[in-house]
Structures are given as C-alpha cells and as structure tokens.
Structure 1
C-alpha cells in the first residue's frame, strides 16, 4: 500500500485502485470539492508521473483515453486547481511521491494493463442529481432530463422561450469549453436532428460561461450526461446474420430448380454440411433428405 497526504489532497493506492480525496486547502477548486472522493481502478490508468519543482512538485495520474467521461468532455482543458488527477506535492515529500509512482507502475506491469484507449467508460462519472449555476444559466440534471434555467445575464432572444428542457436520449453530443482571453466558454448540448448551432449567447441548448470560478462545475454536468450516452469509441454492432431456412421452407425452394442429378447431389451435400456442423439434428437431417429426394 502507498499513500501520500498533502494540503491539496490525499492519494492512496491499495494495489487495485487509486483513491483520491480532495484536500481542504483554498487552492482546491470547486469542481474537486463537489466531485469529492474519486476511485480510479487500476485498469483505467494509462500512466503516472511525478514532476519535481523548486517549491513544489506535481503528481499526475493519466487515465486511458475514453476511460473517464469527465476527461472525455473536458479534453485536458480543466484548470489545474480543478483537475482531480493532479496533486501538488511539497518538495520535502518528493521521495514519497516517487515511491507512490513506483508502486502504481509496478502494479500496471504485473497486471499487464493495456495503456491504450477504451471503447467503454471505466469510471462512473459524477453522481446525480446535479444543479449548478454559472454563466447565463443554471444547469440541472437528474440522470434523465437536463434543464437549463436562464438568468438575468441571458440574451432576451434566448430566454424568451423559458427554460430549455430535454432528455439524454435526445442528445447527440455534449461539450464543455473554458473561457480563453476575451472568448467566453460554454456547456453545449447538440440534440439529434439539430441544425448548425448558433453562437453560445443565442443557442438555447448552450450555457455561455464568462470565465468565473464556478465555470468548471458545468463540466460535471457534461460528464454526468456523457456517461449515459453511447461511448464515442464503442464498436458498431455487428449486423444480424440471417438464420438458415426452416426445413419446411427449404424443400419448396427446390421447386424452381431443374430436377437433374447435379442439383440433387448439391442439395444433399448442403443439408449434410448443416448436419455435420450441428445446425441440423439427426431427425431434422433425415426429414430434409427425405424432402429433397421426394422432389426428384
């Protein structure tokens, strides 16, 4: 077992999972505070590293691509204070951090964990219900329905229709982006059949974010919705293979065939192969053979 305790939080590794508990330091962002304890199974981990610094180092846990809906919707754009997979480490605890890294890496090697991308989420996402106010709306999600309730900062054309409400089943994509410089961020939902989305300030399915400290909370809403949608890397379902014709239908199919010796042998060979492969039982094979011979 390995453990490192810092003002920023506590990380514990028991050989099967990394347990992350946020600290109470003022530098811990609101997202981490609301998300609370996170348990990352070993099979969801793609790597871990420690980066020493003059005053403080950083412990970083890298999850496999597609393992966590929060990482999926934020795309590495969370500010450091909001990233649950980073831990600020005081310089005098660098030895403990390096020991922690070695413990996780050794477990990854022993368990032969594939560091490649996932085609299904391995993390459960934020618990619901959720309701956060940031930017021009309050976004609420109960596990099935999303409600965007506009506030006084919302453009009149956007809020004139009242709150916007839709179900997860109607969502084709969800995206969160932080503010950058003079450009505002957003929490955007793209619904099935929707045309090209207008600018966030006019889009009724988008919360416009203004760069305040509550903005990352909207990423929790995005992640909670995303984990209930089909995984973006999920394989396409295989088309159903047609079942063999029932015996009663197989014999009539011969009606249009010429009654010659070659056709007789071919049909007998086909039902024989079905019998040998286990598709036809002995009784079914006998019945099919009799039906074929009766046609010639």
Structure 2
C-alpha cells in the first residue's frame, strides 16, 4: 500500500509485506514505545485486524499478532497494560473512515493464522542492560550476566556470587511485570525442568524488581531479546555490544556503576560512612 496512518504516539506505514510502526518520542508517549523506537511487523506475523471505539472521541486500530511470532509479546505473557500495547494505534474519531479503509486493506493481505513455529518479528535491539533491585543485568547477545548489589541482594545470591548464563544453556525466561507485586526476571536453565525454583529473591538465576528498579520499558525489551536468542539457539550469530573484560579484572564501567549505586544508598542514609568507605575501597581494589 505504501501509505502512512498517523495516530497518537505512533504512525503506521503500510508496505506490501509488512507494517512499519514508528513510535513518537514525545513526553506523553509511553516509555516502552520510546524504548522500542520503531518495529517492522511482517504480515506473516499477523492474523487479524480490528477497529473499535476508543475513549474520549477516539477509535482504536489494532493488529493481532500470531501467538509465538513476536518475542516481546511472548515475554510479556499478557501482562502489558492496554496503554502499553505496541499493536494499538489510537486515532481521533473523525478519522474512523480512513482507519476503516486501512483496516480492510490490511485484512485482505493477511494469509496466516494460528501459532507461529518461530519468531517472525525482530527482537528489540536494546536496552541490553538494566538495573533491578538486587543487581544489574547485562546481555551481550551470547550470555546473560547478573552482578549483585551489596545492599540489595540476598545472602543466598551473595554466596552464589555474580552469575553468567550462556544462551546455549537456557531453556527460556520468565518475566513478571514490575507493576505487580514481586516482579522479577528469571532465567530458566535447560537442566532445571524437573526442579522447583527457589523464590526469585533467593534464586541466583533471577533478579527482582522494586519501585524504580526494572521498569517495563527497560526489563521487558531485555527479556524479549534474551528469549529471541534462546529460541534461535544460535548465540554465535548475535552481535556483542562490548569486548569482554580482561580476565581477573572487572569492567571499570561496572565498578563505577556499583560505586554510584553505593553512593545513592549512602546519601539516603541506608549505608553508614564506615560501610561506604570500606565497600568503595573493596570495589576500587577490583580494578
């Protein structure tokens, strides 16, 4: 079709084999959309289109993705609020006729339905790191690393030490929205199918969320990128974002981040002067 339909927070560009969704970066645009930037949705990844009345003089055009076609939707597992749905386009009611035209044109091009046997939508390109309540998570395309925070992590996680999980050793992920109680991101190792996992705050394969830690727009794209790599089973094809640190030494950026976090706790009165000085010296010694 080659046409563009602009709505609130996003614009859809209709092409012969896909829909390119470009999200705005305005202050009122949901942060998840801003994080995604733009997404190309192949028509083979869609199985339906609806047009329904919206709130306050609007109409809503929504494309229905096929189950299993989009790693972001698969990782979200039905937990996204309506306002965060990346497949919704909200338009003024006076554009209903135009929206109906595009909906009919798009429906005529859809030929697939039912679960997809692989991901058809490209995973988010970032962020590839985010801060949870008890640690920081990193993903370089081939492995996931958890670095525990001194004050936030449980004793079980400190005893286990910082973790590294090659994608080839994972069977999947479990994401629980930070906007509900006990949100977390848990990695599911391939050899743990018959084991009952520990609570997320005690599980070295999980990071837990809290107020301001692991927000949706950071943790969900991260989870989707990891899930896509696991499903592809080809970690060697992923593009790393940074060279590995020299053996026996920590990445200076990681040390700086942990010192900054320690400083925040110190300023908030959660860490004493003596604890702050002692832990800062330990971290600097790792450089």
Instruction: Render the CA deviation track for 1:64-117: whole Å, top value 9, x for unaligned.
Output: 111111111212212234322122222232223222211211222xxxx12111
1:80 aligns with 2:82: yes
Number of residue-to-residue matches in the alignment: 227
1:101 aligns with 2:103: yes
Larger Rg: 1
SS at match of 1:228: helix
**TM-score of the superposition, structure 2-length normalised?**
0.72
1:123 aligns with 2:124: no
Aligned to 1:209: 209
Contact 1:28 1:82 in 2 (8 A): no
Mapped to 2, the partners of 1:212 and 1:94 lie a distance apart of 38
Mapped to 1, the partners of 2:129 and 2:44 lie a distance apart of 31
Mapped to 2, the partners of 1:91 and 1:46 lie a distance apart of 25
Question: What aligned pairs does 1:32-71 form with structure 2 within 5 A after superposition?
Answer: 32-55=33-56, 56-71=58-73
Mapped to 1, the partners of 2:59 and 2:153 lie a distance apart of 41
The runs of 5 or more residues in structure 1 that have no matched partner are 233-296
Task: Return closer, same or farther for 1:136/1:30 CA change in 2, 3 Å cut-off.
Answer: farther
CA drift of 1:24 comes to 2.3
CA drift of 1:213 comes to 8.0
Mapped to 1, the partners of 2:131 and 2:49 lie a distance apart of 34
**TM-score of the superposition, structure 1-length normalised?**
0.70
Contact 1:73 1:175 in 2 (8 A): yes
Question: What aligned pairs does 1:1-296 form with structure 2 within 5 A after superposition?
Answer: 1=1, 2-55=3-56, 56-108=58-110, 113-127=111-125, 130-151=128-149, 152-179=151-178, 181=180, 183-194=181-192, 195-210=195-210, 212=212, 214-216=214-216, 217-230=218-231
Mapped to 2, the partners of 1:10 and 1:125 lie a distance apart of 19
Mapped to 1, the partners of 2:214 and 2:199 lie a distance apart of 21
